[in-house]
Each structure stands twice: as C-alpha cells, then as structure tokens.
Amino acid sequence: MNASVKIYSFFCIILAFTSHVVYADEITDRTVFKQQVLRAYERQDFKTLNNIYLNVLNKKSKSSSGTLLLWDYYRVFEKYYETLYVDENLQWKEAEKGLKQWEKLYPQSAAPKIILIRLMQVKSNSYSNARFKNLDKASCDDILSLLDRTQVKLLSTLKQTSKSDKAEFIGSICYFAYDQFVKDSILHMENRVTYDPEWFTTKIRQASKEGDKTSCLTIFNEGIKKYPNYYNLYFETIPCHLGNDKQERLRKWEYIANLAAKNNKTIDGDALYARVYWVISSYFGVDNLKGNTLVNWPRMKASMKQVLKKYPDQWNYTHFAEISCRSNDKEFTRYLFKFIPTYNPSNWESQEIYEYCKSYIIQ
C-alpha cells in the first residue's frame, strides 16, 4: 500500500495494577494499537491482522479507559478510507483487492467481509459530500446502470455545465449506486458474520442513514439479544432516526441508558448509564446534560464514579469533569479535578474550557 498512509491514533490495552489512581494516557494507548493494525495492513500481513482481530473479538479486550477494542479495530480501516478522495481509483481498487485476498485466505473470518462493507459505506458518504480530488477522473461506472452511465457521459460533454454542478450530479448518482450496493451486500452476507457484534452495528448504521426507524430498532433488539454486553450496540443506536420530537428523543436516550446499565449490571454495575450519556453529550453536543436531558443526575455521578473506580484513566477523569462542569455541578467538578494533575490538549476540547472548569476549584 502507499507508504504515505497517514497514521491515526487509536487504542491498545494498558492495564493498571496499583491500588491508587494511575494517570494513564488513553491517547498513547490508541496510538500503539492503531499503528500495530495499520502497519500490518500496509504490509498486507493478513495473518497478523486476523490474529489481532480474533484476539480482541474473543477476549472482549478493552482499552485503559474501559472501551471495547473491537470497535476501534474497525475504526482503523474506516479512518484510513476516509482520507481517500473518491476519484483515487487505484487506492480504492487496491483496498478492495486486499480485503478480498484476506477473505480468501481466512474465509471463516468476519473481519474482511465487514470491513469491505464499511469501505463501501465510507465511499458512498464521500460521493455524497462530493469529495473529489480531480473531477475529470470521478466515476463509479463499475456499479452504475447503463442508463446512469449514459447520463454521466452526457453531462461530461456539456461545456456550459459548471464543475460544481457536475460534482453534485456525479456525487448524487454514485452515492445512491454505492448505497444500493451496500444494502445488497448486507443481504448477501447475512447469517455469515453474525458471530461478530460489529455486524449488527454495521447494519444499524445503514438503517440510521436511510432513516429507517423500524429496521434500526429491530436490528438493535436482535443485536442486544445476542450480545447484551457489547457497549457499542447501544451507542450506535443513539442517533438512529430520532425525528424532530424532542421529548421522544429524550425518552429514547434515557431508555437506552437504562437498558445498557441493566444488561451490563453483573459485569459493570451501573457504569453503562454514565457511558451512554457521555456518548449523547459528545455526539449531539449537549452542553448541559443535567438541564437538557432526562438524566438522573445523582445516579449519573454515582455511575461516573463506578467507571473511574475500575478505569482510573485521565481520559475518563477529564471528560467526566467537563460533563460535570457543563452541567454546572461545581462540587463534583472540584472533586474530579483532584485527580487531574495538568492540562492535556488531547483530552480537552480547548484550553479555554479547561481553564473555565478548573476555575470551579477556587469558587
């Protein structure tokens, strides 16, 4: 693969074996794991890739902050594909060729099958966003119908058509073509990859993208029935076709938080309640969870403490401090800052927010 592939940071497993708070570095953890996977991918070392995959799948491995590494394993590939322009045809073909070779070598492995669909989902989104490097090379003839190919060629001959109009037209046609390809691929692979919980998150994403609320919830229920302890099934369902009804959205969030906590009580106590609302805060940019959602704030604080007791990582402390600060709980923010020794730009949205929240210490 291209030697100039960008390196993105993701998770590895770093466990703390001391009785006091350890200032672990989740960002460094992510870098180590990410580079391990990406370097194997660059070398087309499918044996290593598959071994890493089976390890995180079967051992249910977690990072130092307590998140599941299987989700981050798949994000390694998605983040790489997101760097590609849709008209970089050689790179896309190399990526598809590599995944098919991986599948040929390890036909029982779900990873290359799921990653191929994720690749197509990313490419579909790139067409939708008109992510072209060279519009003259933009094409998706390999999956277009004859009628669509004729339309694209006709448009390309019209000199009076602006480049932005061409980009929008080609992007729209190719977006829908790849989207249909993804749906067909999901149907084709059904029942062949269900032993990997990320198969269900892949389907949830597609249903959410299509605005199919019924399918989204059906897939979610199928997924948690089989994998009730897989956190990301709950997280991926949060944005699934919420509609414009604010109260319905708030009730759904609280339902998912309660269900995640209930289904993971034996292993994690009530920690999933806080983790779900953390995702809600991050994904939707909800500044004040306490004031703008149905969160049970005393329960939320107790839940955050449970997370921190098991995973005393700086990533967790700083994000919970920011959530608490944005919810105007000065007392709990002051408590959390006792365990935050210094500013780390990787953990905070900005230094201004850090300084603002830190000011609660002297108030």
Written as tens digits, the pLDDT of the chain (363 aa) is 433 333 223 223 222 222 233 334 788 888 899 899 999 999 999 999 999 999 999 999 998 999 899 999 999 999 999 999 888 888 999 999 999 999 999 999 999 999 999 999 999 888 888 788 777 666 777 777 666 767 666 666 655 667 777 778 878 888 888 888 899 999 988 878 889 999 999 999 999 888 888 899 999 999 999 999 999 999 999 988 666 788 888 999 999 999 999 999 999 999 999 999 999 998 888 889 999 999 999 999 999 999 999 999 999 999 999 999 999 999 999 999 999 999 999 899 899 999 999 999 887
Closest CA relative to residue 135, chosen from 90, 160, 167, 157: 167
Do the domain assignments include residue 314?
yes
Q: How far is residue 266's CA from residue 29's CA, in Å, rounded to a whole number?
A: 27
340 is in which domain, residue-wise?
242-362
Alpha-carbon torsion 278, 11, 209, 129, what sign?
positive
Model pLDDT, residue 146: 64
Structural domains in the chain (count): 1
Identify the three-state secondary structure at position 256.
helix
* Sequence-distant (≥ 6) Cβ neighbours of residue 217 within 8 angstroms: 237, 240
- So what's the pLDDT on residue 167? 77
In a domain, 345, yes or no: yes
Residue 3 maps to a domain:
no
Q: Are 1 and 94 in contact (CB under 8 A)?
A: yes
- Nearest Cα neighbor of 329 from 352, 296, 301 is 301
Q: In this structure, is residue 349 part of a structural domain?
A: yes
In a domain, 347, yes or no: yes
Report the candidate in 26, 2, 28 with the shortest Cα–Cα distance to residue 83: 2
**How many CB atoms sit inside 10 A of residue 228's CB?**
17
Q: What is the pTM (predicted TM-score) of this model? A: 0.85
Would you state the pLDDT for residue 291? 92
Establish if 287 belongs to a structural domain.
yes
Q: How many CA atoms lie within 13 A of 17 on its CB side?
A: 2
The H-or-E segment that residue 77 falls in is helix 69-81
pLDDT value of residue 275: 97
- pLDDT number for residue 199: 96
Q: Is residue 261 part of a domain?
A: yes
In this prediction, residue 173 carries a pLDDT of 83
| Dihedral (CA of 32, 33, 39, 45) sign | positive
- In the chain the first and final C-alpha atoms are separated, in Å, by 55
In the prediction, which pLDDT does 29 show? 82
pLDDT number for residue 363: 72
CA distance 27 to 44: 25
Q: Is residue 170 part of a domain?
A: no
